[in-house]
Amino acid sequence: MVERNNVYVNCGEPETLGTVVEPRTFYPYTLDAPANLPTIVPAAPRGRN
């Protein structure tokens, strides 16, 4: 498991091991700051109900 830029709340640190190919190798994207996710995720459009 590989992890980057995570925010941990009321949980332990994960165990990590290994490497992965960076997604940027395959497609462009903009990384959001983990601290902003509580605001971003609830505001995201939702799928079908």
Take residue 19 and report the two structure tokens written for it: 């490497």
What is the C-alpha to C-alpha distance for residues 38 and 43, in angstroms, rounded to an integer?
9
Task: Indicate the average pLDDT of the chain.
Answer: 81
pLDDT at 48: 64
Is residue 19 within 8 Å of 3, Cβ to Cβ?
A: no
Is residue 29 within 8 Å of 43, Cβ to Cβ?
A: no
24, pLDDT greater than 70: yes
- Band the pLDDT of 5: cuts 50, 70, 90: confident
Cα pseudo-dihedral 38, 44, 47, 49, rounded to 10: 70
pLDDT digits (tens, 9 = 90+) for 29-48: 888 888 888 888 886 677 66
> Where are the chain's structural domains?
1-8+18-49
